[in-house]
Amino acid sequence: MNVIEVKNLCKTFKVKKKEKGLKGSFRSLWHPKYQKIEAVKNIEFTVEKGEMIAFIGPNGAGKSTTIKMLTGILYPDKGDISILGLDPRKARKKLAYEIGTVFGQKEQLWTHLTPYDNFKFFGAIYDIPEEAVERKIQELSTLFELEEFINTPVRNLSLGQRIRCEIVASLIHDPKILFLDEPTIGLDPVVKENIRALIKRMNKEYKTTIFLTSHDTSDIEKLCKRVVIINHGELVLDDSMENLKYHYLNKKIVEAKMKEKVNLEDEDGITILKDKGYNLKIEVDTSKKSVADALKLLNPDNIIDINISNIPLENIITEIYKKEEDK
Amino acid sequence: MLTAVKNQGKISILSIKYALMKEMLNKTTFLTNVIFMILNNASFIIQWIVLYSIQDNIGGYTFQQVLLLWGVAAGSYGVSHFFFENAYELAETITDGKLDAYIVQPKNILLSAITSKVKTSALGDLLYAYIMCVVVARSFSSILLFTFLIICGGIILTGIAVILGSLSFWFKRADMVAEAGNGWMTNFANYPDGIFKGVVKVLLYTLIPVGIVNYIPVQLLTHFRLSNLGIVVGFASVIILLAFIVFYRGLKRYSSSNLMSMRI
């Protein structure tokens, strides 16, 4: 069952184009020039119930604009959006009861209040009876391990603790879909890992559909089974993580410590990344040469130590972005 | 429908309560703000005492009426700035993309936005307003009427601030226009209307409705006329309606922003 359906979605912004310097400012006072920026162009996709989807793209690709149209913050110029059968333009309030949002760059909590008071406030916003809010706060504070600081004013919390509280605030009304826009921005690796584990647990326990945007490839790799890539406002890829890796991971990195030096310079399908005499790092294009053949060239008897790994997801995504730039 | 209105009211009151709690974090600042505003308002009375010692009637107002005028002006300002302070920062709220948080909540966006901040010094204005009211009009019914009139006045001031602030949906730097417009509403508020003539007077009962917020209420408190009360209530209703129409029209043009922000 699809919980999100997007068809031919378009959004254009009119941006004032200013010439350089004070002179330019005066000129644009009397003869303003505008530039139309197509932030989102004919995007189409669907999301199934319970899915964890990564919606990614470089800066300015149109991710935030899309997520803002899906949550009713922005009005699209063209196209149809259906979130749980509701049109965000026409049924904003109804939709708000069904979705939760966390914008990593924009805090929704009152910083002078404690997380507990904030959660009570959010409970009132969603018209949840007192007892039910208390129960929910108890349940979520256990799941997100907030007990230690639930009565400390938000402004005194660390960034990681705040983000946990932001997520809990967005879950107080049991949303069916959670939109997470850069939830791990600015967090240290340990806290990031912690947040990811909590999001995963939440998806498992409540079957919440997760719509995630992030620049952190670890977020995407560890949380999502499906990736949608957007660039210059257009959808450039919509595939499962497995397929993405299968299609793009036709390259392996081989790092070897050798007894004797080996010359692989003219070998087809092999790119030398680093050659420090006895330490060699090569990239094997498996569509041209198998890893086994590459190892034969190195001569197994000549190898002291070896490590074979996939290309990091980050490199794959960068390659996809670059391909689109070159088109 | 009734439940929805009740729930919205509950949220607005909670929002004001939490915003007040924030202002009360520092006792000294909080009390200083309130007391200094009372003293600031009171200092102007001295100038009127001097003027009325020279002549009994200025612009058709007696000294008692001037006190009432100051009471009404401070009261309307106090109601508007205490309960709806963010209406005066609506332009920045729009351009900085801070409406996002309210749009994703199942409540009225405009009410949620304008009740998210209180101005502590406005409490001083309110206290000062009631001191003036009690000094001049000593009956309970007059205090009740005064309360009703400053609520209407506060609503009109807020409505104007919302309309001016909403211009930000269409124009950049509309905050400057809003600031000037809101400034006019207070600058003309403390002078007897008899000193204004011709076009200025027409403006004060139309485009810059200081007359409806301040002068007619003073007349009502001294000589009650139902028709005058009708004008104030009618005008307040029209302004509320207009404020909602302009804001929600503009909201369709809202472009948000990616500025980092906090709810402080």
Which of A74, A115, A280, A33 has its CA nearest to residue B257?
A74
Which chain A residues contact residue B99 at CB under 8 A? 73
Distance from CA of B105 to the nearest CA of A (A): 5
Domains in chain A with CATH codes: 2-9+42-245 (3.40.50.300), 250-310 (3.30.70)
Per-residue pLDDT at A249: 66
* Chain B contact present for A75, CB below 8 A: yes
Angle at alpha carbon of residue A251, lines to A317 and A197, rounded to 5°? 50
**Residue of chain B whose alpha carbon sits nearest to that of A112:** B22
Sorted by sequence, the CB contacts under 8 Å of residue A222 that are 6+ apart come out as A196, A200
Better-scored residue on pLDDT, A96 or B263: A96
Better-scored residue on pLDDT, B115 or A247: B115
Distance from CA of B14 to the nearest CA of A (A): 7
Better-scored residue on pLDDT, B160 or B205: B160
* Chain B contact present for A110, CB below 8 A: yes
Distance from CA of A22 to the nearest CA of B (A): 17
Using DSSP's 3-state secondary structure scheme, residue B19 falls into helix
Q: What is the spatial distance between Cα B25 and Cα B8, in angstroms, rounded to a whole number?
A: 26
Mutation choice for A interface testing from B20, B21, B99, B103 by most A CBs within 10 A: B103
Beta pairing partners, A305: A257
Do β-strands A33-48 and A52-56 pair in parallel, antiparallel, or remain unpaired?
unpaired
Which chain A residues contact residue B263 at CB under 8 A? 107-111
Tokens representing residue B169 in the block: 């949906």
**Whether A113 and B18 lie within 8 Å, measured CB to CB:** yes
pLDDT tens digits, B6-56: 888 889 999 999 989 888 888 898 999 999 999 988 888 888 888 888 888
**Whether B103 and A113 lie within 8 Å, measured CB to CB:** no
**Whether B105 and A125 lie within 8 Å, measured CB to CB:** yes
* Chain A contact present for B254, CB below 8 A: yes
| pLDDT tops 90 at residue B174 | no
* Chain A contact present for B11, CB below 8 A: yes
Q: What is the spatial distance between Cα A124 and Cα A111, in angstroms, rounded to a whole number?
A: 18
**Residue of chain B whose alpha carbon sits nearest to that of A185:** B260
Per-residue pLDDT at A324: 63
pLDDT tens digits, A252-264: 888 999 888 888 8
**Whether B172 and A16 lie within 8 Å, measured CB to CB:** yes
- Pairs of CB atoms within 8 A across A/B: 80
Tokens representing residue A148 in the block: 């230690």
Which of B108, B79, B110 has its CA nearest to residue B93?
B110
Q: What is the spatial distance between Cα A197 and Cα A99, in angstroms, rounded to a whole number?
A: 21
> CB pairs under 8 A, 24+ apart, for A154-160?
A154/A109, A154/A110, A154/A111, A154/A112, A154/A113, A154/A114, A154/A115, A154/A118, A155/A111, A155/A112, A155/B264, A157/A115, A158/A191, A159/A186, A159/A187, A159/A191, A160/A187, A160/A188, A160/A191, A160/A194, A160/A195
Mean pLDDT (chain B, rounded)? 90
Could you say which residues from 89 to 148 on chain B have a Cβ atom under 8 Å away from some Cβ of chain A? Answer: 97-101, 103-107
Q: What is the spatial distance between Cα A254 and Cα B44, in angstroms, rounded to a whole number?
A: 83
- Dihedral sign from CA coordinates of A82, A176, A159, A195: negative
Beta pairing partners, A210: A52, A178
- Alpha helix stretches (DSSP H) within chain B: 2-23, 27-54, 63-83, 90-95, 100-103, 109-114, 121-136, 140-166, 174-187, 198-204, 210, 216-222, 226-251
Which of B182, B158, B174 has its CA nearest to residue B96?
B174
First to last CA, chain B: 32
Tokens representing residue A13 in the block: 């912004």
**Whether A127 and B255 lie within 8 Å, measured CB to CB:** no
Distance from CA of B165 to the nearest CA of A (A): 19
Distance from CA of A196 to the nearest CA of B (A): 22
Which chain B residues contact residue A112 at CB under 8 A? 21-22, 25, 264
Confidence band (pLDDT; 50, 70, 90) for B264?
A: very low
* Chain B contact present for A15, CB below 8 A: no
| pLDDT tops 70 at residue B260 | no
What are the C-alpha distances in Å from A142 to residues A135, A173, A319?
11, 16, 41
Q: Quick count: other Cβ atoms within 10 Å of Cβ A96? A: 23
Mutation choice for A interface testing from B24, B252, B262 by most A CBs within 10 A: B262
First to last CA, chain A: 35
Q: What is the spatial distance between Cα A166 and Cα B35, in angstroms, rounded to a whole number?
A: 37
Positions of chain A with pLDDT lower than 70, given as ranges: 248-249, 324-327
Which chain A residues contact residue B260 at CB under 8 A? 105-106
Greatest pairwise CA separation for chain A in angstroms: 78
- Alpha helix stretches (DSSP H) within A79-188: 92-98, 115-125, 130-143, 159-171
Which of B68, B228, B77 has its CA nearest to residue B155?
B77
Greatest pairwise CA separation for chain B in angstroms: 60
When pLDDT is averaged across residues B224-253 and rounded to a whole number, the result is: 95
What are the C-alpha distances in Å from B105 to residues A71, A121, A213, A305, B89?
10, 12, 20, 58, 20
The interface predicted TM-score (ipTM) is: 0.82
When pLDDT is averaged across residues B134-152 and rounded to a whole number, the result is: 92
Question: Which DSSP category does B195 fall into?
Answer: G
Q: Is A122 left (phi over 0), alpha (psi -120 to 50) or beta?
A: alpha
A74, A106, A111 ranked by CB distance to B101: nearest:
A106
Per-residue pLDDT at A325: 63
Tokens representing residue B177 in the block: 């226009």
**Whether B263 and A110 lie within 8 Å, measured CB to CB:** yes
Q: Do residues A9 and A76 touch, judged by C-beta distance below 8 A?
A: yes
Which of A4-8, B73-77, B198-202, B239-243 has the lowest average pLDDT? B198-202
* Chain A contact present for B26, CB below 8 A: no
Q: Is A309 exposed, middle or buried (0-12, 13-18, 19+ CB in 10 A)?
A: exposed
Q: Is B136 exposed, middle or buried (0-12, 13-18, 19+ CB in 10 A)?
A: buried
* Chain B contact present for A108, CB below 8 A: yes
* Chain A contact present for B20, CB below 8 A: no
Beta pairing partners, A43: A9
Q: What percent of chain B has pLDDT over 90?
A: 57
Which of A51, A40, A29 has its CA nearest to residue A76?
A40
Mutation choice for B interface testing from A112, A121, A174 by most B CBs within 10 A: A112
Query: Which H or E run contains A48?
Result: strand A33-48
Better-scored residue on pLDDT, B138 or B169: B169
**Whether A75 and B254 lie within 8 Å, measured CB to CB:** yes
Using DSSP's 3-state secondary structure scheme, residue A237 falls into strand
